[in-house]
Amino acid sequence: MIASTFLLTAFAAFATAIPTSNVLSPRAGGPAAKPIPTTCTVSSPAYPTDTADATYQPADSTKDALVYYAYYSLDTDKTQLQKQCLEQCYGLGVTPPCVAAYWADNLVVPAGYYGGAGGNLATGCLMYNRTLETTDFVKATDGHATDAYVGDIKCPS
């Protein structure tokens, strides 16, 4: 009996000491921001500019290309948040692919986001599995989708 207890204890200690995979399983939270290599290019699509004071947001027709979105109530460095949004898109990797990101202040939060009613305005980061074109945007309601930034990521294969 003592020998079997000793063997079981030794086996358990050995089994817990064996190295395990460093692959993380999916978990809650957004994608990790990953710096975009210099071999990749980031370009902005021809953003609509029919009037100087109009703002634009992605049209409903882009929803089937949306792979991830997040809304924040942050009032920090906009340039840094735009960069983080783009780097999180790149950090998603290839499954699902993320090749374009749209970031703006004063976006309407959709109903059901974290169980909420939606409708409030927040800073948003929307990520897409295809590049965004001029025709993918619609004029936003006055005061919405301000300080928008759009980036398409292209990396060599």
Q: What is the pLDDT of residues 17-51, one digit of tens each?
A: 333 333 444 445 678 889 999 999 999 876 666 66
Rounded Cα gap, residues 45 and 134, in angstroms? 6
Q: What angle do CA 54, 60, 65 make, to 5 degrees?
A: 115
Domain contains 118: yes
Q: Is residue 8 part of a domain?
A: no
Residue 13: pLDDT above 60?
no
More confident residue, 10 or 149: 149
Read off the pLDDT band of 90 (50, 70, 90): very high
What pLDDT band is residue 156 in, cutting at 50, 70 and 90? confident
Cα distances (Å, whole numbers) of residue 154 to 39, 41, 54, 99: 9, 5, 28, 7
Q: Is residue 134 situated within a structural domain?
A: yes
- Does 33 reside within a domain? no
User: What are the tens digits of pLDDT across the range 91-125?
Assistant: 987 767 899 999 999 999 999 998 999 999 999 99
Range of the domain at 61: 52-157
CA-wise closest residue to 151 among 112, 102, 93 = 102
What is the H or E stretch that residue 81 is in?
helix 78-92
Q: Contact at 8 Å (CB) between 144 and 108?
A: yes
Q: Is residue 11 part of a domain?
A: no
pTM value is 0.77
- Measured CA to CA, the distance from residue 130 to residue 99 in angstroms comes to 6
Please give the C-alpha separations between residue 129 and each of 68, 70, 101, 118, in angstroms, as whole numbers.
Answer: 9, 15, 9, 24
- Bond from prior residue into 31 cis (ω within 30 degrees of 0): no
CA distance 125 to 31: 12
Please tell me the predicted confidence (pLDDT) of residue 73: 83
**Does a structural domain hold residue 154?**
yes
Task: For residue 78, tell me if it sits in a domain.
Answer: yes
Q: How confident is the model at residue 77 (pLDDT cuts 50, 70, 90)?
A: confident
Residue 8 pLDDT:
43
Q: How many domains does the chain have?
A: 1
